[in-house]
Amino acid sequence: MKNSVNRELPEELLKRLSYEAFETTEIGHPSIQRVAPTVHVSTGDDKVVDSIKEVVKNTVKDGMTISFHHHFRNGDFVFNAVMREIIDQGIKDLTLAPSSLTNVMNDMVIEAIKAGTVTNITSSGMRGSLGDFVSHGGLENPVIFRSHGNRARAIEHGDIKIDVAFLGVPNADRLGNANGMEGDAVFGSLGYALMDAQYANTVVLLTDNIKPYPNTPASIRQTQVDYVVKVDKVGDPEKIGSGATRFTKDPKELKIASTVNDVIVNSPYFKDGFSFQTGSGGAALAVTRYLRQAMIDNQIHASFALGGITKPTTDLLNEGLIDRVMDVQDFDKGAAESMHTNGKQQEIDASWYADPDNKGAMVDQLDVVILSALEIDTKFNVNVMSGSDGVIRGAIGGHQDAATAKLTIISAPLVRGRIATVVPDVTTVVTPGESVDVLVTEYGIAINPNRKDLISALSSLPGVPVYSIEELQKMAQDKVGEPKPLEFTDRTVALIEYRDGTLIDTIREVKD
């Protein structure tokens, strides 16, 4: 059968894994029975454990679901240390359910799959050697990709039932009160990890910094933690920052950023008290800089900024141009440090950020979001997961979630090298065109035809040519030619859930 974004979904798969096909971005008003963990009662005096070996032996059994967070990004030392022990102890058939997988984890995941230690994975994304390995059929069961909001939803529903969460933190006391703001390897908000701390049956903290009891502020609390493991180092501070926090000098990126700013400023949403999410990356930082100037020039301030936070955003908070920063993760040290000193930078968990089955998430209140794309097609469907060669090399992140904003802008170059970004049909549908409003390229913009209000607001901006999405697709094709169709086998290697848990697309094994 085909779902509402015209993707063929194997009936057998839908049935076997009890999936509904994606229909709509509307969530509606269902009543949801949430789940809760099993608590192993203790006074808390026996939590400190000397070795990872011991805690793995005490907690992990064949067939369990284990989890990690990715707040350390490529500076993470915790994942590999724990997985090394788990593999060495011969544990089998685990489901790996981290908030995401970063490149520094790739070799270990591949080893764990080959050893039979890991037989199922759910993640926000994967890249590099692991994406390649999975795309070529390296894992028997399909990987399930979920957005950050959908992971929160799945945990709160019990679709992901975490047996043991291994959470690295830059500080903790002997009972497990911890935050992400103090220590050598600070990353700021613990947003994604707060879900694991609340819902996992067993919570293991790993830290290189045991603080006097009681340690506050406590983002993770002693009432959630079973074990505290002292390790030498939880992470490499130099590699925790995303790296892409440098302001771009690329004229193409600057042109796109300036056009994004034009679109925002001329939209009906640019008024006092508006809200926005920009994200990281050189172009996003450039947008923030343009937006800052426009806010000053128009005497407009924002009620909140959302999402993965960078220093340019916290600078706006400190300048008084933004009232609140709602912070589910920080992309650089400056943003992490600001959370420690500025009470208006509120740490939020992934559920509050974006769980659609909620009493209102932050993304539901968002006016403007700027998102990226590996591909966008003439139905405005966006792919941030697979490359033009069909290989997995991305992450959903908050893409589907934040696209619920009132004004969703996709910022992307028309082509990258010899590869078109605007295509007739994306390789993998991650975010449905229904929730995308404007595409901004270096050549001009395209507006979703459903948004007549935006068409009239944005159609006569000086220096901002408006095209139909089909015209932009043709322009791209004229530049790089028509690629050879990709060849896949019949085997499904990954499932893309929409944020409500329905199936929006699948990824098949690449044929070599």
Give the binding site for a copy of itself (CB under 8 A): 27-45, 47, 156, 175-176, 212-214, 216-218, 221-226, 273, 303-304, 323-324, 326, 343-344, 346, 351-352, 355-362, 364-365
Of the pair 366, 415, the CB lying nearest a copy of itself is at: 366
Of the pair 153, 311, the CB lying nearest a copy of itself is at: 153
Residue 487 burial (C-beta neighbours within 10 Å; 0-12, 13-18, 19+):
exposed
Closest CA to 392 of 401, 400, 383: 383
Closest CA to 149 of 366, 342, 323: 366
Distance CA 28, CA 38 (A): 30
Residue 361's CB: how many other CB atoms inside 10 A? 25
Of the pair 174, 255, the CB lying nearest a copy of itself is at: 174
312's CB contacts (< 8 A; 6+ apart) are 285, 288, 289, 292
Q: Are 421 and 412 in contact (CB under 8 A)?
A: yes
Distance CA 388, CA 393 (A): 10
> Residue type at 409?
I
What sign has the CA pseudo-torsion 430, 433, 436, 438? Answer: positive
12's CB contacts (< 8 A; 6+ apart) are none
Of the pair 242, 318, the CB lying nearest a copy of itself is at: 318
Distance CA 266, CA 105 (A): 43
Of the pair 73, 211, the CB lying nearest a copy of itself is at: 211
CB of 264 to a copy of itself, least distance (A): 20
What sign has the CA pseudo-torsion 350, 352, 353, 358? Answer: positive
Of the pair 163, 505, the CB lying nearest a copy of itself is at: 163
Distance CA 329, CA 187 (A): 8
Q: Are 9 and 16 in contact (CB under 8 A)?
A: no
CB of 498 to a copy of itself, least distance (A): 15
CB of 395 to a copy of itself, least distance (A): 24
CB of 364 to a copy of itself, least distance (A): 4
Q: Is 112 left (phi over 0), alpha (psi -120 to 50) or beta?
A: alpha
Of the pair 132, 226, the CB lying nearest a copy of itself is at: 226
CB of 227 to a copy of itself, least distance (A): 10
CB of 37 to a copy of itself, least distance (A): 6
Distance CA 468, CA 466 (A): 7
Of the pair 37, 444, the CB lying nearest a copy of itself is at: 37
CB of 28 to a copy of itself, least distance (A): 7
Of the pair 146, 508, the CB lying nearest a copy of itself is at: 146
In b/e form, how buried is each residue of 75-105, taking b as 16+ CB within 10 angstroms? bbbbbebbbbbbbeeebeebbbbbbbbbebb
What sign has the CA pseudo-torsion 225, 229, 235, 237? Answer: positive
Of the pair 175, 426, the CB lying nearest a copy of itself is at: 175
DSSP readout, 139-199? SSSPEEE--HHHHHHHHHHTSS--SEEEEEES-B-TT--B-SSSSSS--S--TTHHHHHHH
Residue 27 burial (C-beta neighbours within 10 Å; 0-12, 13-18, 19+):
middle
Of the pair 335, 476, the CB lying nearest a copy of itself is at: 335
CB of 233 to a copy of itself, least distance (A): 26
Distance CA 394, CA 505 (A): 15
CB of 30 to a copy of itself, least distance (A): 5
Residue 205's CB: how many other CB atoms inside 10 A? 31
Of the pair 91, 220, the CB lying nearest a copy of itself is at: 220
CB of 203 to a copy of itself, least distance (A): 8
CB of 342 to a copy of itself, least distance (A): 11
CB of 479 to a copy of itself, least distance (A): 41
CB of 221 to a copy of itself, least distance (A): 6
Of the pair 135, 177, the CB lying nearest a copy of itself is at: 177
